[in-house]
Amino acid sequence: MDTGKKNIRHLTLSELEQYFEGLGEKKFRARQVYEWIWQRHAAGFEAMTNLSKDLRQLLEDNFTLPALRVDATQYSADGTIKSRFRTIDNHLVEGVLIPTDERKTACVSSQIGCSLSCKFCATGYMQRKRNLDYDEIYDEVVLINQQSERVYEKKLSNIVFMGMGEPLLNYRNVLKAIERITAPDGLGMSPRRITVSTAGVAKMIRQLGDDKVRFKLALSLHAANDVKRNEIMPINETNNIKALVEALNYFYKQTGNEITFEYILFKDFNDSRQDADELVKIYRQVPADLVNIIEYNPIEAALFSKPDDQAIDRFMQHLENNRVNARLRRSRGKDIDAACGQLANKDH
Catalytic residue among 114, 118, 121, 340: 340
| Annotated catalytic residue 340 | yes
User: Which DSSP string corresponds to 41-98?
Assistant: --SSGGG-TTS-HHHHHHHHHHEE----EEEEEEE-TTS-EEEEEE-TTS-EEEEEEE
Beta carbons of 193 and 186 less than 8 angstroms apart:
no
Residue 247 · residue 221 · CB < 8 Å: no
The per-residue DSSP string of 229-255 comes to HHHH-GGGGTS-HHHHHHHHHHHHHHH
Structure-derived torsion over alpha carbons of residues 113, 117, 120, 123, reported in degrees to the nearest 10: 0
Give the rounded distance of the alpha carbon of 189 from its chain centre.
Answer: 15
Catalytic, 118? Answer no
3-state secondary structure of 270: coil
Instruction: Calculate helix-pair angle for 241-255, 273-285, nearest 10 degrees.
Output: 40
Residue of 17, 94, 166, 262 marked catalytic: 94
Residue 2 to residue 252: CA distance in whole angstroms? 42
Catalytically active residues are 94, 340
